[in-house]
Amino acid sequence: MQYQNTSPAEYHRSRSPVMAGMFYPDTDAALRIALNRYYEISGMQGSETRTDCNPLGIIVPHAAWELSGLLLGRAFSLVRKRPIEQVVLLGPLHASTQEGIYVSESDSFETPIGDLWVHKNKVDEFLSCSTIFELNDIPHLSEHSLEVVLPWIADAFPQVSIIPILIGTSRTNHIHALSRALELCFSDELDKTLFIATTNVSAHYDNDEAFEQGRRFLELVQTGDGAQLIGN
């Protein structure tokens, strides 16, 4: 976390990377080389993109890029040409026993290729939807589930603002409140909004079990079975 004195009465709060140099490159040049390489091996290099679909959101892993880069490249190739103005980022909170849904207090999130600014008005609107939601930077400072995706956003959509949300709960009423809030805040702005959810669907399993976990997850997503997704 860094604070920049922008005026005698104002401080800029910036969330610094904690996984740069470990999960992904920590310099501008090396990071852009890595991005281009993953786009290339995913089948979409340079400025090319898929034109046969226009998804409102993507689900991506948040593992180290050496494990997740191919899937990240494929996912971002589907959306990188959309005229996006804001990105809603949803990720799990790993290192906490607290149950809650946490929105960052930071004004921006740093990446090696440029900062991404938080959409403060949208954050306030989201927070007003439920007392379950909490404005709290502490969970965000050491959590990597959103950070791993940020350079991809900064590369594809350098001018967007972000709404970073960490989910530390699987309680049904909390997830329903989150769903309702997202609908209230963004249903009239879908043309300029991208939703990104991060999850490692099949970590810590052997190959057969990992593929089965992934297959089951996709099946639940495609059928819209939210109750089973929460339960699993």
Q: Specify if 86 maps to a domain.
A: yes
Tell me how long the chain is. Answer: 232
Residue 226 lies in a domain: no
**For 149-176, what is the mean pLDDT?**
92
Is residue 91 included in any domain, yes or no? yes
pLDDT band at 8 (very low <50, low <70, confident <90, very high): very low
In a domain, 10, yes or no: yes
If one counts the domains in the chain, the total is 1
How far apart are alpha carbons 5 and 220 in whole angstroms? Answer: 48
For the chain, give me the number of helices (H) and strands (E)?
Answer: 8, 10
Host domain of residue 27: 2-200
- Which residues on neighbouring strands pair with residue 20, listed in sequence order? 24
Q: To 10 degrees, what angle do helices 172-186 and 120-127 make?
A: 130
The continuous run of DSSP H or E covering 215 comes out as helix 207-223
Spatial distance between the Cα atoms of 150 and 194, rounded to a whole number of angstroms: 13
Q: Is residue 214, in this structure, part of any structural domain at all?
A: no
Look at residue 49 in the predicted model and tell me its pLDDT: 52
Mean pLDDT over residues 197-205, rounded?
76
User: What does the pLDDT average to over 104-131?
Assistant: 96
pLDDT(191) > 60: yes
Tell me, what's the pLDDT at 200? Answer: 77
15: region left, alpha or beta (phi > 0 left; psi from -120 to 50 alpha)? beta
Domain with residue 189: its CATH number is 3.40.830.10
Average pLDDT over residues 200-204: 68
Q: pLDDT tens-digit profile of 19-47?
A: 999 999 999 999 999 999 999 988 755 44
Give the helix ranges, DSSP H, for 94-189: 120-127, 138-141, 150-156, 172-186
Q: What is the pLDDT of residue 100?
A: 87
Q: Is residue 221 part of a domain?
A: no
**Cβ burial, residue 31 (10 Å; 0-12/13-18/19+):** buried
Q: What is the mean pLDDT of residues 137-164?
A: 94
In a domain, 175, yes or no: yes
Q: What is the value of pTM for the model shown?
A: 0.86
